[in-house]
């Protein structure tokens, strides 16, 4: 495959030089356009996989013209660099339909990461959307994972890169964030192992004397009750993948045995002296602080470093609320089918409650709540009343009366000029009867952006935060 091509669009000479050299060092074919007009000429001449647009320059031109990339279906993705905090704060002539928006100053590594994700979104040979591209624009999943936020796309891109390797993966995250699903996605993304066994074991749920036999197997008579030879999980998952959940619960002597399997790819069944070889991709997960456990001598340092070859931190749901509507749709479809019901979707007020909630139980809690709502629903649409009372009470949203109060609090022109965006948002919300969907449409932003603005200006209740 030829080198991926990145077109730099900027009128800043220092940026031109530094970005060009950085891209060439990273193995890309790069060129420079000093204006939007010149960039469009480049696009007519040949295929550019990614457009890297530094939009701060005064002479760059009407950047909104770059939206022609989408309108004409050019097989290119746009990554924007700007000193502005977010794209909604830009003047209209500089707003672009971008794959990613990076706020300067930004490190080279983040730029390369954004470009790699954009490349993963396009087929470089045909210009046709790849699987991840379809995921972002349609109701599809990535190997069973649901989410279209930037942080989840980072995880998808990382999985694609590590899947073909034999590297051990350490999954970190709070309980209920989906570590098991991430492990399965890694297995499915590995072309050599995806048709082989995926075996998981919850280390914290089994007593020490049982877990050793579960992992390594045993021979007849090895202990009381061992009436037959028995294969362990490592043996059963040969050529496939094993997930060790709650790895922090491993006793120190079992940690030694696990380290040997990881390093030497060999073990013995309990009660046997015959050494067995095994080829297993090991993924471990924890919701605990392993570094602290190492410092307290509760977890072996050598095993920690052996496990921490690739580390993936799965964000809690409260940190990726833009994915919540997609998760809700996914669970509605899942439980509608399971319960033989036809659920069209979820109402605006019910989704507002879900967006306002803090989700201490993460995706597992959301899954249980949607299952309950689907079972209780009577009219084919999930409403606020279908949600648990506890959830409704903890996610009280601002009413239109509250909005009027907020507007009255802005007593003078001087105060208004301090936060003109805040005043305008409140005005639009008042005009739309505090209907967030209509307000977001009128403001020209998505509902997640509007929600973030409300948080920024302290226009939501403590429970919503």
Residue 415 and residue 339 share a domain: no
In eight-state DSSP terms, residue 104 is S
Read off the pLDDT of residues 262-321 as tens digits, 9 standing for 90 and up: 999 998 888 888 888 999 999 999 999 999 999 999 999 999 999 998 999 999 998 888
Regarding whether 309 and 175 lie in a shared domain, the answer is: yes
Indicate if the pLDDT at residue 409 is higher than 70.
Answer: no
Same domain? For 96 and 225 the reply is no
* Helices marked H in 26-86: 36-45, 68-71
Q: To which residue do tokens 């977010």 refer? A: 86
Find, among 202, 182, 178, the residue nearest to 363 by Cα. 178
pLDDT in tens, 436-447: 777 777 777 777
Question: How high is the pLDDT of residue 365?
Answer: 94
Q: CB count, 10 Å around CB of 302?
A: 12
305 with 156, same domain?
yes
CATH number of the domain bearing residue 196 = 3.40.50.300
Residue with the bigger pLDDT between 393 and 136: it is 393
Query: Is 370 within 8 Å of 346 (Cβ atoms)?
Result: no
**130: pLDDT strictly greater than 50:** no
Q: What is the pLDDT of residues 226-238, one digit of tens each?
A: 778 888 889 899 9
For 36, half-sphere exposure in the C-beta direction (CA atoms, 13 angstrom radius) is 20
- For residue 287, being part of any structural domain is answered with yes
The three-state DSSP-derived secondary structure of 214-273 is HHHCECCCCCCCCCCCECCHHHHCCCCEEEEECHHHCCHHHHHHHHHHHHHCEEECECCC
Alpha carbons 116 and 124: distance in angstroms, whole number? 12
* Overall average pLDDT of the 9-31 stretch: 86
CB 228 within 8 A of CB 220: yes
The mean pLDDT value of the chain amounts to: 79
* Domain identity same for 156 and 227: yes
Using the 3D structure, point to which of 263, 286, 313 is the last residue of a domain: 313
The reply to whether 58 falls in a domain is yes
Q: Where are the alpha helices (DSSP H) in 174-248?
A: 179-189, 208-216, 233-236
Identify the CA nearest to 206 among candidates 244, 261, 262: 244
User: Hey, how many other C-beta atoms are within 10 angstroms of the C-beta on 458?
Assistant: 11
The Cα 221–Cα 227 span in angstroms is: 6
Give 230's contacts (C-beta < 8 A, 6+ positions apart).
213, 217, 218, 269
Pick 436 or 385 by higher pLDDT: 385
pLDDT digits (tens, 9 = 90+) for 181-195: 999 999 999 989 989
What is d(CA 66, CA 61) in angstroms, rounded to the nearest whole number? 10
Classified as helix, coil or strand, 101 is strand
Residue 7 is given by DSSP the state E
Q: 387 and 341: one domain?
A: yes
CATH of the domain at 332: 1.10.8.60
Are 218 and 278 in a shared domain?
yes
Which of 343-372 are b and which e, b meaning 16 or more Cβ less than 10 Å from the residue's Cβ?
Answer: beebeeebbbbbbbbebebbbebbbebbbe
The pLDDT of residue 307 is: 93
With respect to residue 117, please indicate whether it lies within any of the assigned structural domains: no
- Residue 139 placed within a domain: no
Q: Is residue 410 part of a domain?
A: yes
Give me 261's structure tokens: 């399997």
pLDDT value for 289: 93
Distance CA 407, CA 160 (A): 49
Please give the distance of CA 349 from its chain centroid, rounded to a whole number. 25
DSSP state of 465: -
Kindly state the helix (H) or strand (E) to which residue 399 belongs, with its residue range: none
pLDDT at 57: 67
Q: Which residue, 313, 344, 363, sits at the end of a domain?
A: 313
- The pTM of this model reads 0.60
Choosing from 45, 77, 108, the residue where a domain stops is 108
The predicted-structure confidence for 43-81, as pLDDT tens digits, reads as follows 777 778 888 988 776 655 555 556 555 544 456 788 888
How many structural domains is the chain composed of?
A: 4
Q: Is 64 contained in some domain?
A: yes
Q: What is the CATH number of the domain that holds 96?
A: 3.40.50.2300
98 and 38 together in one domain? yes
Q: Is 248 exposed, middle or buried (0-12, 13-18, 19+ CB in 10 A)?
A: middle
Are both 159 and 308 inside the same structural domain?
yes
Length of the chain: 465
CB-neighbour burial class of residue 309 (10 A; exposed 0-12, middle 13-18, buried 19+)? middle
Assess if residue 358 is contained within a domain.
yes
* The two three-digit tokens of residue 61, written as one number: 């031109």
Q: Kindly state whether residues 164 and 305 are assigned to the same domain.
A: yes
Per-residue pLDDT at 124 = 38
365 in a domain, yes or no?
A: yes
pLDDT of residue 58: 60
> So what's the pLDDT on residue 63?
58
Q: In the predicted model, is pLDDT for residue 418 greater than 50?
A: no
Do 176 and 308 fall within a single domain? yes
Question: Within this chain, do residues 307 and 353 fall inside the same structural domain, yes or no?
Answer: no
Q: What is the enclosing helix (H) or strand (E) of 460?
A: none
Q: What is the CATH number of the domain that holds 441?
A: 1.10.10
Domain housing 343: 327-394
Cα distances (angstroms) measured from residue 8 to each of 17, 100, 124, 200, 435: 10, 15, 18, 46, 40
Token pair 């959830």 in the structure block, residue: 391
Query: What are the respective helix, strand and coil percentages of the chain, to the nearest 5?
Result: 50, 15, 35
């Amino acid at each position: 495959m030829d080198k991926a091509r990145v077109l730099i669009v900027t009128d800043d000479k220092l940026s031109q030089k530094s970005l060009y050299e950085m891209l060439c060092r990273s193995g890309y074919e790069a060129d420079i356009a000093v204006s939007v007009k010149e960039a469009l000429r480049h696009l007519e001449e040949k295929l550019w996989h990614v457009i890297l647009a530094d939009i701060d320059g005064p002479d760059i031109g009407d950047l909104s013209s770059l939206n022609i990339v989408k309108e004409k279906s050019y097989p290119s993705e746009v990554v924007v660099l700007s000193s502005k905090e977010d794209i909604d704060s830009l003047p209209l002539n500089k707003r672009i339909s971008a794959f990613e928006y990076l706020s300067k100053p930004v490190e080279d590594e983040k730029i390369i990461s954004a470009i790699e994700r954009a490349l993963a979104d396009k087929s470089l040979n045909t210009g046709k959307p790849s699987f991840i591209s379809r995921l972002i624009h349609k109701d599809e999943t990535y190997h069973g994972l649901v989410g279209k936020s930037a942080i989840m796309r980072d995880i998808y891109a990382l999985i694609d890169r590590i899947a073909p390797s034999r590297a051990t993966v350490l999954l970190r995250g709070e309980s209920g964030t989906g570590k098991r699903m991430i492990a399965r996605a890694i297995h499915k993304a590995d072309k050599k192992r995806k048709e082989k066994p995926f075996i998981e074991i919850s280390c914290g749920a089994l007593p020490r004397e049982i877990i050793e036999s579960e992992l390594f197997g045993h021979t007849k008579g090895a202990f009381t009750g061992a009436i037959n030879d028995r294969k362990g999980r490592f043996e059963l998952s040969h050529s496939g993948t094993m997930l060790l959940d709650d790895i922090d619960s491993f006793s120190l002597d079992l940690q030694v045995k696990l380290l040997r399997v990881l390093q030497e790819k060999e073990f013995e069944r309990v009660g046997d002296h015959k050494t067995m070889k095994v080829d297993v991709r090991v993924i471990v997960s924890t919701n605990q602080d392993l570094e602290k456990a190492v410092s307290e001598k509760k977890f072996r340092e050598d095993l920690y470093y052996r496990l921490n070859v690739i580390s993936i931190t799965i964000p809690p749901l409260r940190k990726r609320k833009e994915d919540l509507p997609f998760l809700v749709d996914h669970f509605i479809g899942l439980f509608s089918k399971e319960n033989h019901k036809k659920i069209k979707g979820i109402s605006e007020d019910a989704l507002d409650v879900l967006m306002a909630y803090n989700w201490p139980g993460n995706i597992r809690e959301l899954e249980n709540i949607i299952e309950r709502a689907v079972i209780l629903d009577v009219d084919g649409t999930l409403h606020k009343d279908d949600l648990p009372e506890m959830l409704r009470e903890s996610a009280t949203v601002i009413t239109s009366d509250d909005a009027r109060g907020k507007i009255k609090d802005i007593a003078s022109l001087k105060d208004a000029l301090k936060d003109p965006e805040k005043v305008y948002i409140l005005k639009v919300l008042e005009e739309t009867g505090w209907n967030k969907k209509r307000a977001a449409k009128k403001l020209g932003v998505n509902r997640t952006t509007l929600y973030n603005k409300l948080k920024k200006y302290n226009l939501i209740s403590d429970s919503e935060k």
